């Protein structure tokens, strides 16, 4: 598939996806949605990809749905249910099911579905100029893209409700204090810093990270007993990996491990 709205790059084991519609703050139209889904499928199906960085071009991460496409002046409005079903739901499911760590590099504002796409990633690094806005209520919509699932689990019901009701801007610092953002880098060299950080993740024991993601995903549905069973099953897989042997040998030999994600 030839991409018109995203840029992609493979750097070692890291696959970088840049939403590239800076003139509309990387808002997502249906074509961009299809391209993102295609790129995420590529990441899932390509063994050389060990981690993914999703970021935006220019001053925004992503301003959510392209509102000009959703409510065009010269045509009847698009069907919102179809947009949610065909664009956002598959992106969120693909991010959560991708068996590799996904890092959101939130370079600037992340609004509406853009904020919730970031929340669906496994780690968020942000520029010091980044912000997160549950912008939906300002245009009379409810939060979608999994926001009503992820945000209350991150910050609790009342904080989530107030962020969603008032659509206030959450700064990178506030998001870090809430445990949403892992690290903040200065905006001036954010693309390089986010790539360097994410390349570091790609060189970690990424099979173990993927199994950790699977366990955390399931923890939302399991009771303790079933979660312990799942941990046992996934640990058995990790325990047979190259990375486990390498990690233990490197520890015993007092050297840095060289993981392969296998
Ligand atoms: O169909 C459905 O709607 C269902 C799906 C819903 C999922 C959703 O994501 S709903 C939420 C959609 N997003 C928003 O409501 C956010 C809209 N944008 C904003 O509120 C503001 O742009 C920001 C707070 C994000 C940033 O504000 P600011 O002042 O820094 O920038 P700006 O001047 O508003 O935007 C710059 C340009 O980007 C501007 O175009 P112009 O005037 O330079 O030609 C603006 O129209 C454009 N832009 C920004 N966001 C969008 C957009 N164009 C289309 N869609 C957008 N979402």
- Mean pLDDT for the chain overall: 98
Over residues 248-260, the mean pLDDT reads: 98
142 lines ligand 1 (CB under 6 A): no
Candidates 63, 118, 164: which one to mutate for ligand 1, based on the most atoms within 8 Å of Cβ? Answer: 63
Torsion angles phi and psi, residue 251, rounded to 5? -60, -50
Candidates 66, 111, 136: which one to mutate for ligand 1, based on the most atoms within 8 Å of Cβ? Answer: 111
Q: Which residues contact 97 (CB under 8 A, 6 or more apart)?
A: 44, 217
Q: Confidence band (pLDDT; 50, 70, 90) for 236? A: very high
Residue 80 has pLDDT above 90, yes or no: yes
Q: Confidence band (pLDDT; 50, 70, 90) for 107? A: very high
Say if residues 128 and 141 touch (Cβ distance below 8 Å): no
Predicted confidence at residue 198, as pLDDT, reads: 98
Residue nearest to atom 42 of ligand 1 (CA): 24
Residue 244 has pLDDT above 90, yes or no: yes
Q: Could you tell me the pTM of the whole model? A: 0.98
Read off the pLDDT of residues 4-42 as tens digits, 9 standing for 90 and up.
999 999 999 999 999 999 999 999 999 999 999 999 999
**123-127/102-106 β-pairing:** parallel
Residue 55 has pLDDT above 90, yes or no: yes
Which SS3 state, helix, strand or coil, does residue 257 take? coil
92 lines ligand 1 (CB under 6 A): no
70 Cα nearest atom in ligand 1: 1
Give the integer Cα–Cα distance in Å for 34 and 246.
39
Structure tokens at 218: 């399931």
Read off the pLDDT of residues 109-166 as tens digits, 9 standing for 90 and up.
999 999 999 999 999 999 999 999 999 999 999 999 999 999 999 999 999 999 999 9
Residue nearest to atom 11 of ligand 1 (CA): 112
Read off the pLDDT of residues 157-202 as tens digits, 9 standing for 90 and up.
999 999 999 999 999 999 999 999 999 999 999 999 999 999 999 9
Over residues 64-78, the mean pLDDT reads: 93
CA 110 to chain centre: 12
> Alpha carbon of 34 to those of 20, 46, 66, 85, 113: distances in Å?
14, 18, 14, 12, 15
87 Cα nearest atom in ligand 1: 5
Give the integer Cα–Cα distance in Å for 115 and 26.
12
Predicted confidence at residue 78, as pLDDT, reads: 87
Candidates 25, 169, 187: which one to mutate for ligand 1, based on the most atoms within 8 Å of Cβ? Answer: 25
Predicted confidence at residue 67, as pLDDT, reads: 97
Nearest residue to 205 (alpha-carbon basis) of 163, 237, 175, 238: 238
The structure tokens 């980044």 sit at 130
């Amino acid at each position: 598939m030839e991409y018109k709205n995203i840029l992609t790059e493979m750097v070692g084991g890291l696959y970088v996806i840049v939403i590239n519609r800076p003139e509309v703050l990387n808002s997502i139209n249906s074509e961009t949605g299809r391209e993102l889904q295609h790129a995420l499928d590529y990441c899932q199906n390509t063994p050389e990809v060990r981690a993914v960085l999703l970021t935006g071009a220019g001053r925004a991460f992503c301003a959510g749905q392209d509102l000009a496409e959703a409510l065009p002046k010269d045509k009847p409005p698009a069907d919102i249910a179809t947009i949610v079903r065909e664009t956002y739901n598959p992106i969120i499911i693909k991010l959560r099911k991708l068996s590799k760590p996904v890092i959101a590099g939130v370079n600037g504002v992340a609004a509406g579905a853009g904020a919730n796409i970031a929340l669906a990633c496994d780690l968020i690094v942000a520029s010091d100029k980044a912000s997160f806005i549950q912008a939906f209520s300002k245009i009379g919509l409810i939060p979608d893209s999994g926001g009503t699932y992820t945000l209350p689990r991150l910050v609790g019901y009342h904080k989530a409700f107030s962020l969603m009701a008032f659509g206030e801007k959450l700064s990178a610092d506030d998001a870090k204090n809430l445990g949403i953002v892992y690290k903040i880098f200065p905006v001036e060299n954010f693309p390089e810093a986010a790539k360097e950080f994410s390349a570091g993740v790609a060189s970690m024991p990424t099979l173990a990270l993927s199994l950790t993601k699977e366990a955390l995903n399931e923890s939302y549905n399991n009771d303790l007993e079933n979660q312990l069973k799942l941990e046992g099953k996934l640990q058995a897989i990790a325990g047979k990996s190259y990375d486990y042997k390498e990690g233990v040998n490197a520890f015993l030999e007092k050297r840095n491990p060289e993981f392969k994600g296998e």
